[in-house]
């Protein structure tokens, strides 16, 4: 310095010395040295060099982790060179100021200054600032994914083609972060981080190499590649040992260690490292890093609570409040702290507050659509719905979150969401849900085994044991239910007539094919005074055991009131209906055809309570001559319902066919119904082809039943089938 003859020579020497110090990561010394050079250039009125040196000093402050100093130097520099003409150096300082505003959480001037620097550099054809400004533009908020990617591609092309290695390294780092955030492309991110590391090693700057290596390790963490991370840790330790001021680099190293502690279930060790990190970045003013630490801090507290350990919720809430403020300043995605707040409130049992925070999340609030936001929002929605036992909504949200995370191979999140989904399915408890939970736990186990995460493997095993016990209990219950249903089937079958009654001059046949163990259909023949016969065919509007019980109650009531009102079907139905509505409160109803037959006269007095109309066939025409249509509504709906009675006379050879909707609504594989038309055609064709006009009621019934079976084929049965044929001989 003493050999320099002019201030210009001394200033040049100080600039070079500052660069040498910065390359050794001795940033405070570099800044101090450049300030001396700035004073000399100010005396020489060289505002261009002053602007550039303020920008270099500000970048050095950023590398040291001191973002407030980064912004303060930029603001001071702009004030000092105020009024200077356009130049590449001024563009350099304006761009650095744009970066400083961004990392200090002031987004609006950041975007304005970045565009100003870019446009000035383009006018001056100055590639260095063009590439650097595009690199910054690619990570600013309120950019669409495509706008960000396009800016970063241009930055990489300009920097690499012009040999601007430090900018190329930064552009690749930002590109890696964006393809990961927007598209979940971890391998794409790995490629760009590796390229940034290669360039940093070419430059030989320890701080730059360390930064690039730590971002690369971050991908291995997300993919759960424990061995790779453990192999890199000694390299990181060596590089950190070469730094004069390692505080900033130590925060990322501690973050990596805290994640490994987290996976092992060493929650307190992880939290202590995070607290230490938070103190460092708060002192330096590194807001971006502070946000990341806070989110991981809250996530660790949540997991500790999930494993049944006590936590300090005030620490989590304080971190979340700070994170909300930082995100509102453009430093991160607001959805993340909102979702984490919802998780915290769920853990505290405050469901309504969780919903209030979740209601503020959005995927439509900006041009950006970050993949992790979509995953986190669906996961949060699933957990809230699960707590409220809204199983279908929870299931759908878990499925959406899980399908997204599977595409990106983030192993911890994949395994963790699978556990949450399985827990919901186990709580739901039906056999299909338990089977799905079993598959999810297998997938979760594979993820955590790869990560060597013993606490999560133990949790999966605990859930598998719980699932096994539930399955055994369900099997026992199911066996008991099967036995009970078999007994119910035997009891219900005993309600049906053993055989149709034998009446001179008449031929009767009937059949019931239940779709399940028990049936909601039934038919009956009731002996009445004066040698009359009560005829019943009925269908409860439901399936299973409940319908069977309702059917049994209806049968008893019809038989009771048939004896009391032997000549009036309308009075029988009215009395039975009154008792069903008043006494059962089952919420069920039954369609029913009830008739009283006088065999001597062939007279049939009937009421059709909302049932499928029986059809009467003429023996000579072999055609349907009359449908015995509805005369009132089904039983069990309203208390004071009345029915009209109708009368029809069956002559010699007439065939009356009665059936439930299991016949007309029988479906084939194409989804077609058998329908009334096929009922009519089937019987007409059978009667027309019979040379012996005395063909039995059973042969008529069997023909129709065969037609139904042939029509349905191998399609699944969904309803009971009941048929009755009455023929006057």
Q: What is the pLDDT of residues 560-607, one digit of tens each?
A: 899 999 999 999 999 999 888 887 666 788 999 999 999 999 999 999
Residue among 548, 503, 552, 507 at smallest CA distance from 528: 503
Tell me the H-state helices in 674-724.
675-688, 697-712
Q: How many residues in total does the chain contain? A: 729
- pLDDT for 46 equals 92
Q: Are strands 646-649 and 590-598 parallel, antiparallel or unpaired?
A: unpaired
The two tokens of residue 213 are 């290596």
Count Cβ atoms within 10 A of the Cβ of residue 163 and give its class: 0-12 exposed, 13-18 middle, 19 or more buried: exposed
For residues 135, 139, 142, 144, the Cα torsion angle rounded to the nearest 10 degrees is 80
Count Cβ atoms within 10 A of the Cβ of residue 324 and give its class: 0-12 exposed, 13-18 middle, 19 or more buried: buried
Per CATH, the homologous superfamily of domain 496-728 is PPM-type phosphatase domain (3.60.40.10)
The torsion angles phi and psi of 315, rounded to 5 degrees, stand at: -65, -45
Residue 7 to residue 184: CA distance in whole angstroms = 54
- pLDDT for 217 equals 92
Q: Are 643 and 570 in contact (CB under 8 A)?
A: yes
Residue 517 to residue 488: CA distance in whole angstroms = 8
- pLDDT for 484 equals 47
Residues 6+ apart with CB under 8 A from 47: 41, 80, 81, 84, 89, 90
- pLDDT for 545 equals 64
| Residues facing residue 547 across a β-bridge | none
- pLDDT for 249 equals 80
Enumerate the domain spans of the chain.
246-369, 412-483, 496-728
Residue among 510, 729, 728, 501 at smallest CA distance from 604: 728
Residue 182 to residue 179: CA distance in whole angstroms = 5
- DSSP SS3 for 229: helix
User: What does pLDDT average to in each consecutive run of 10 residues of the chain (729 residues)?
Assistant: 70 89 88 93 92 94 89 94 93 94 88 94 94 94 87 95 93 93 88 94 87 90 89 90 81 89 92 92 86 93 93 95 91 91 95 95 59 90 95 94 86 93 90 87 91 91 87 62 50 71 94 76 91 93 71 86 93 91 76 95 95 88 82 90 94 92 89 90 83 74 92 83 93
- CB count in 10 Å sphere of residue 347: 17
- pLDDT for 714 equals 83
CATH class of domain segment(s) 246-369: mainly alpha
- pLDDT for 401 equals 93
Q: Are 271 and 283 in contact (CB under 8 A)?
A: no
| Residues facing residue 538 across a β-bridge | 522, 592
- CB count in 10 Å sphere of residue 416: 22
Query: Where would I find the beta strands (DSSP E) of 477-589?
Result: 506-513, 521-528, 532-540
């Amino acid at each position: 310095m003493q050999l320099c003859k002019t201030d210009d020579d001394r200033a040049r020497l100080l600039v070079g010395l500052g660069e040498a110090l910065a390359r050794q990561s001795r940033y405070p010394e570099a800044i101090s040295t450049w300030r001396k050079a700035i004073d000399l250039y100010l005396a020489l009125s060289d505002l261009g060099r002053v602007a550039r040196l303020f920008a270099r000093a500000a970048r050095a402050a950023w590398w040291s982790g001191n973002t407030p100093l980064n912004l303060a130097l930029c603001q001071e520099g702009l004030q000092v060179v105020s009024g200077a003409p356009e130049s590449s150096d001024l563009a350099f300082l304006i761009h650095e100021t744009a970066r400083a505003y961004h990392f200090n959480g002031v987004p609006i001037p950041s975007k304005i200054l970045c565009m100003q620097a870019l446009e000035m550099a383009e006018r001056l054809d100055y590639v260095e600032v063009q590439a650097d400004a595009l690199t910054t533009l690619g990570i600013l908020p309120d950019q669409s994914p495509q706008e960000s990617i396009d800016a970063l591609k241009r930055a990489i092309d300009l920097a690499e083609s012009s040999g601007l290695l430090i900018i190329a390294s930064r552009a690749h780092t930002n590109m890696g972060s964006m393809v990961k955030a927007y598209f979940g492309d971890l391998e794409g991110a790995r490629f760009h981080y590796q390229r940034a590391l290669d360039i940093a090693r070419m430059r030989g700057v320890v701080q730059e190499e360390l930064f690039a290596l730590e971002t690369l390790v971050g991908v291995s963490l997300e993919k759960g590649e424990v061995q790779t991370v453990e192999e890199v840790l000694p390299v990181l330790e060596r590089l950190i040992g070469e730094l004069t001021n390692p505080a900033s680099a130590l925060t990322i190293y501690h973050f990596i260690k805290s994640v490994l502690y987290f996976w092992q279930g060493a929650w307190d060790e992880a939290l202590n490292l995070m607290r230490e990190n938070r103190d460092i970045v708060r002192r330096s003013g590194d807001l971006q890093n502070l946000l990341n630490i806070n989110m991981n801090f809250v996530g660790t507290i949540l997991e500790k609570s999930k494993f049944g350990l006590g936590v300090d919720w005030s620490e989590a809430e304080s971190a979340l409040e700070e994170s909300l403020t930082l995100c509102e300043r453009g430093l991160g995605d607001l959805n993340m702290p909102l979702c984490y707040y919802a998780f915290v409130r769920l853990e505290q049992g405050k469901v309504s507050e969780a919903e209030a925070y979740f209601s503020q999340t959005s995927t439509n609030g900006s041009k950006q659509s970050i993949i992790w936001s979509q995953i986190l929002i669906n996961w949060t929605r699933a957990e809230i719905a699960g707590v409220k036992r809204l199983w279908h909504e929870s299931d759908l949200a878990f499925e959406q979150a899980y399908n997204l995370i599977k595409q990106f191979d983030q192993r911890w999140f994949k395994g963790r969401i699978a556990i949450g989904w399985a827990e919901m399915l186990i709580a739901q408890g039906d056999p299909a849900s338990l089977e799905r939970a079993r598959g999810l736990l297998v997938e979760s186990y594979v993820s955590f085994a790869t990560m060597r995460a013993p606490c999560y493997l133990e949790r999966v095993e605990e859930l598998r044991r719980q699932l096994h016990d539930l399955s055994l209990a369900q099997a026992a219950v199911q066996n008991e239910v099967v036995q009970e249903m078999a007994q119910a089937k035997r009891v219900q079958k005993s309600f049906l007539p053993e055989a149709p009654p034998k009446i001179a001059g008449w031929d009767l046949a009937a059949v019931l094919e239940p779709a399940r163990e028990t049936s909601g259909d039934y038919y009956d023949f009731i002996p009445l005074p004066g040698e009359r016969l009560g005829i019943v065919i009925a269908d409860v509007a439901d399936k299973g055991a409940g319908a069977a019980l309702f059917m049994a109650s209806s049968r008893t009531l019809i038989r009771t009131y048939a004896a009391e009102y032997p000549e009036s079907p309308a009075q029988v139905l009215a009395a039975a209906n009154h008792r069903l509505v008043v006494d059962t409160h089952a919420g069920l109803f039954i369609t029913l055809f009830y008739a009283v037959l006088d065999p001597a006269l062939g007279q049939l007095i009937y009421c059709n309570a909302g049932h499928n109309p029986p059809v009467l066939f003429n023996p000579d025409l072999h055609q349907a001559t009359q449908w015995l249509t509805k005369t009132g509504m089904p039983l069990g709906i309203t208390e004071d319902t009345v029915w009209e009675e109708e009368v029809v006379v069956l002559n010699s050879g007439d065939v009356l066919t009665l059936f439930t909707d299991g016949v007309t609504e029988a479906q084939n594989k194409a989804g077609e119904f058998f329908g009334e038309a096929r009922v009519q055609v089937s019987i007409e064709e059978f009667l027309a082809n019979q040379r012996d006009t005395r063909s039995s009621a059973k042969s008529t019934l069997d023909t129709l039943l065969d037609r139904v079976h042939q029509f349905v084929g191998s399609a699944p049965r969904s309803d009971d089938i009941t048929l009755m044929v009455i023929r006057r001989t």
